[in-house]
Structure 1
């Protein structure tokens, strides 16, 4: 929801950063790798009990993820860049879940359920993108929903910072994720019915 409706407020900063990186000679894919490298440490810092640093690396990674997409659109998007972007996003999320699961084993069952819901959500999201002929600003069809990347980052941040409520917060994330997935399934049904 925030990615769809609030992006316009932060886009000027993203644009300036993208222009700066392009002037220095960096490519969109290089920034994708940089964002991944920063983001993958989120789970490491969460595991070792450095929640503030973990949240900081998560958000820097997310910012670079937005910048690399803007850079790609200013130059040339590529299927390989899209694949890297989506794959690295999931790996950063996995790092957070694994880091928290090993640090707080009592919440592991809830984090496992959250992982399953993310797999389900991404299966729907990517399949609809593949079956749809619609093109958006991104190089694939992007379905808006209640929980987009920014909401995920907010929920991961709250989980990291308020770990004494980790199981409850994880279950909240799970509910939001499932709601979004069914929201996207309903939209997909209408979209795909129109194609037939």
Structure 2
């Protein structure tokens, strides 16, 4: 929801950074890889006991993830770039879930439910994107929903920073993600029927 409706408020620094990378000779795919490794740093820092640093690195990876898409739109989008972007986003999310499970094994079941809801929601998102004839600014049809990347980062931040709220924040994330999957499924029926 925030990615779709609030992007214009943060687009200027994203645009500036994208142009900087392009002027330095970087490709969108290189920044996608940088965003991946930065995001993986979140999990490492969390496991090592640095949750504040982990959250800061998480948001940096999200910023780089937005920058790479802007770079691609200014240069040339490629189907493989889209595959890398979506895949690496999920790798970062799963690595955070695994890191939290390692540090807090007492919340394995809520984390498992969260993972299931992400798989369901992303499956619908990807299938609709691949079978839909609509095209947006991205290289596939982008289904907006209640939980987009920014909402996920907000809830992940709460999960990483406030262990006393971990059980409930994980369940809230699960419900929000499952609602998003249902929302996307209903939209898919409407646009693909």
Which TM bucket (shorter chain)?
A: over 0.9
Partner of 1:108: 108
1:131 maps onto 2:131 in alignment:
yes
Tell me the residue number matched to 1:187: 187
* Divergent runs of 4+, >4 A: none
What is the match of residue 32 of structure 2? 32
Partner in structure 2 of residue 64 of structure 1:
64
Unaligned runs of 5+ in 2: none
Structure 1 residue 181: deviation in Å? Answer: 0.7
Superposition TM-score, scaled by structure 1 size: 0.97
Does the 8 A contact of 1:31 with 1:68 survive in 2? yes
The CA deviation at 1:82 is 0.4
For structure 1, which runs of at least 5 residues remain unmatched after alignment?
none
Q: Which residue of 1 aligns with 2:142?
A: 142
Match of 1:122? 122
Q: How many residues align?
A: 193
The answer (yes or no) to whether the contact 1:47–1:102 under 8 Å persists in 2 is yes
SS in 2 for 1:184: helix
Partner of 1:7: 7
Match of 1:175 in 2: 175
How far does residue 48 in structure 1 lie from its aligned partner after superposition? 1.9
- Deviation readout 1:114-152 (Å, 9 max, x if unpaired): 011111111000001111000000001000111100000
2: CA distance between counterparts of 1:119 and 1:158?
21
The separation in 2 between residues aligned to 1:157 and 1:136, in whole angstroms, is 29
List per-residue Cα deviations over 1:85-114 (Å, max 9, x = no partner): 001000000111000001000011111110
Q: For residues 30-64 of structure 1, give each alpha carbon's deviation from its aligned partner in whole angstroms, at most 9, with x where no partner exists.
A: 00011101101111111222110110111000000
Match of 1:161 in 2: 161
**Residues of 2 paired with 1:101 and 1:41: CA distance?**
16
Counterpart-to-counterpart distance in 2, 1:54 and 1:4: 25
